[in-house]
Amino acid sequence: MQEISFCGINCLKCPAYIAKRTNDNELRKRTAMEWGSVGFVIDPEKISCDGCHSNGELLMHCSDCKVRNCGLKKGVKTCAECPDYACNDLKELWTNLHAPEAKVQLDSLR
């Protein structure tokens, strides 16, 4: 399993990845509360992921992720390897994820 996702998230620090590996239902509940909001309730059972490089279980909408699908198509390990780094799809994902550490991670890999 690759540790860094296409967009730069460190899977080993991701609550959904950790919850899957440790079968930690309390972590799932806490993460669902943290990631959800009024009008966007997340089922704790959906907080489970094998990482976007796997063929296993993915977090919620990750199977439809433009960045993941592009990375798979291009055969890169992360978007840091892409000649189009940092494309608009990647920038949009970073904004939506509220995960500035993902950009820092990929910048360090370039």
Q: How far, in Å, are 1, 3, 8, 41, 89 from residue 81 at the CA level? A: 18, 15, 11, 35, 15
Q: Give the separation between CA 1 and CA 5, rounded to whole angstroms.
A: 10
Kindly give, in sequence order, each residue whose CB lies less than 8 Å from that of residue 60, ignoring residues fewer than 6 positions away.
42, 46
Look at residue 63 and tell me whether its pLDDT is greater than 80: yes
The pTM of this model reads 0.86
Question: Phi-psi bin for 23: left (phi > 0), alpha (psi -120 to 50), beta?
Answer: left
Higher pLDDT, 6 or 63: 6
The confidence band for 77, taking pLDDT boundaries of 50, 70 and 90, is very high
- pLDDT value for 90: 95
pLDDT of 2 strictly over 80: no
| Predicted local distance difference test score (pLDDT) of residue 73 | 95
pLDDT at 96: 86
Task: Give the 3-state secondary structure of 44-84.
Answer: HHHCCCCCCCCCCCCCCCHHHCHHHHHHHHHCCCCHHHCCC
Q: What is the mean pLDDT of residues 35-43?
A: 88
